[in-house]
Homo-oligomer: A and B are copies of this chain.
Amino acid sequence: MPQHVVVIGAVALGPKAACRLKRLDPDSQVTMIDQDDLISYGGCGIPYFISGDVGDPGQLQTTSFHMLRDKRFFRDAKDIEVKTKCRALAIDRKNKQVLVQSLDTFEKDAIPYDKLVIATGSRPKRLEIPGIDLDGVFTVSNMHAAIAIKKKISSGKVGKVLIIGGGFTGLEMAEAFTDMWGIETTVVEITNQILPGIVGENMAKMAQHHMEENQVTFHLSERVVQLEGDNGVTRAITDKRTIETDLVIVAIGTEPNSELARKAGLDISSRGAIVVNKKLQTSDPEIYAGGDVVEVTNLITGKPGYYPLGSMANRQGRIIGTNLAGGNAEFPGAVGSFVVKLFDISVAATGLSVDVARKENYDAISAMIAQFDRAHFFPEKDMMYLELVVERGTERVLGVQGFGNKGDGVVGRINAVAAILSYRPTVAEISNLELAYSPPFSSAMDILNALGNTAENTLAQRSRVVDADEFETLWEQRENDEVVFLDCRGWGNAATFVERYPDRWKNLPQDELRDRVDEIPHDKRVILICNTGVRSYEAQVMLNQQGIRNTSNLQGGMVWVKKRGIDI
């Protein structure tokens, strides 16, 4: 008798596991059930469907060769039976069957299984505030919600949108509304930065500034406490203001759909996710689970982590398929890689941000750098911004975050680090990472190598730094007269600042510093400034040698300050 495998959930992991199993073991019988009628779609494409980049919802449900992944497709091309509008009510582990109910006829049935896959995914977290169930309040939960949102904005009656949550879904939605529909969009985020837990505060502010330049409004450290309206939502009350709005998107994160597993007595974590081993088996070895409903090991911290991403679901689905067919594949865990496009820029990250690292009790420092993404003499180039998070002492790399143009340059650098992160690299390995070199693609010393070098100098306390945030605070407090801002660039760059702030901003080009060291005040802290932090580091070394040690180098330099939108 060929085995019968039942798969609960037919969006990402479910179909992948089912198809992989059928390729390895074509004789096995596979039944996939889903409570929806739209299945096997690319949910991560929803913001691009809303924006209009993707014209038709069907495009998210077709293969790259334009076949609609519907019931018929799975039957004919994959030999997999799919039951849609079929809800799993319970897993009867003793009798090895799934109790299901048709959402069309409401008839109940029991489907026996030899092995079971739970691919029930996640749902948007619900915001428990008054008015949350008003018309016009949406989550980006599935294709039906996406179609409803697009229908509403297509009606032309949406002039203002409020997005609750500044994570990547919220930001992608903000871009979609603003860029393609010209809708006045406001994002309210409860923490003090956008992309919390993903990038550090400096880079978050950089991304926020870019989105503000693209007409998105942000309110940080602010909480929406109530939604109001008669025929649908018309305003939101926060702890600081009232915001008029025609539509609200709640994007405050997702949580695993683990109720079925919990009721069946499978191990569930404190986060509410299904606990699986490396083979992606639940506490019942006949039952596999993966995707947004499970947690896996964070390979940096060794603790459980939750990564609701379509890419994880696909890779885990293949591993489950292999194991269902008698294979021995393992999913070791994740480092947490991430990328988002925001208008003309991209933000990418892998591993831990500096604040997350510190929360995890690592004695972490971060090094920041700005450098061209290719040879500086190559005509087409853009400034790129990277931050490396390193543990003091061990010099272990914990994470890296990047900001740059919307091409593949930033994500390429992040992916190179992501690839080695589970090998616990030291900062020296970043300095010496062998990236392919040619002037149209990188500098001879690529920004990633330079980032490693910078981190190493900071760890060795050769470079004593301030970041753009600290610079901003020092600048705001400049009337205290405790600090001198010393511009180490040529007069061409420094002139504007010196002329505007003659008492605060001094100019001593780095290549003249040796001969003019007497001009530097010995009684004040000196903030050394150049475009990117390279010449100011050279200046710091030189001043050290002259016995002037109360200096700090502005890491990332003035290009970082400017990109942050700091107004001086």
Give A residues with C-beta under 8 Å from B. 12, 16, 22-24, 26-27, 42, 44-45, 48, 53-54, 59-60, 62-65, 67, 73, 76-79, 168, 309-311, 313-315, 318-319, 329, 331-332, 334-335, 337-341, 346, 348-350, 371-373, 375-379, 406-409, 411-420, 423, 428, 431-442, 444-446, 449, 453, 462, 489-490, 510-512, 514, 530-532, 534-535, 537-538, 541-542, 544-545
Q: Can you add 9 more A-B contacts, CB < 8 Å, to A65-B532, A76-B514, A411-B435?
A: A44-B439, A53-B379, A54-B378, A65-B531, A77-B511, A168-B438, A311-B437, A337-B434, A412-B413
* Pairs A–B under 8 Å by Cβ, sample size 5: A48-B439, A65-B530, A79-B542, A350-B436, A415-B436
B residues near A512, Cβ cutoff 8 Å: 76
Q: How far is B27's CA from A314's CA once the two chains are assembled, in angstroms? A: 57
Asked if B65 and A314 make an inter-chain contact with CB atoms under 8 angstroms apart, the answer reads no
Asked if B23 and A437 make an inter-chain contact with CB atoms under 8 angstroms apart, the answer reads no
Of A332, A338, A418, A531, most B-chain CB atoms within 10 Å = A418
Query: A407-B407, A436-B349, A531-B65 are contacts. A545–B26 as well, Cβ < 8 Å?
Result: yes
Asked if A48 and B377 make an inter-chain contact with CB atoms under 8 angstroms apart, the answer reads yes
B residues near A310, Cβ cutoff 8 Å: 437, 444
Asked if A77 and B538 make an inter-chain contact with CB atoms under 8 angstroms apart, the answer reads yes
User: Closest residue of chain B to A58, judged by CB?
Assistant: B377
Query: A378-B54, A541-B23, A541-B26 are contacts. A415–B444 as well, Cβ < 8 Å?
Result: no
B residues near A78, Cβ cutoff 8 Å: 538
User: Closest residue of chain B to A510, judged by CB?
Assistant: B77
Question: A437: which of B22, B44, B423, B453 is its contact (CB, 8 Å)?
Answer: B44
Question: A12: which of B423, B444, B544 is its contact (CB, 8 Å)?
Answer: B444
In the complex, what's the smallest C-beta–C-beta distance from A487 to chain B, in angstroms? Answer: 12
Q: How far is B285's CA from A97's CA once the two chains are assembled, in angstroms? A: 73
In the complex, what's the smallest C-beta–C-beta distance from A345 to chain B, in angstroms? Answer: 11
Query: A76-B511, A377-B60, A408-B407 are contacts. A44–B311 as well, Cβ < 8 Å?
Result: no
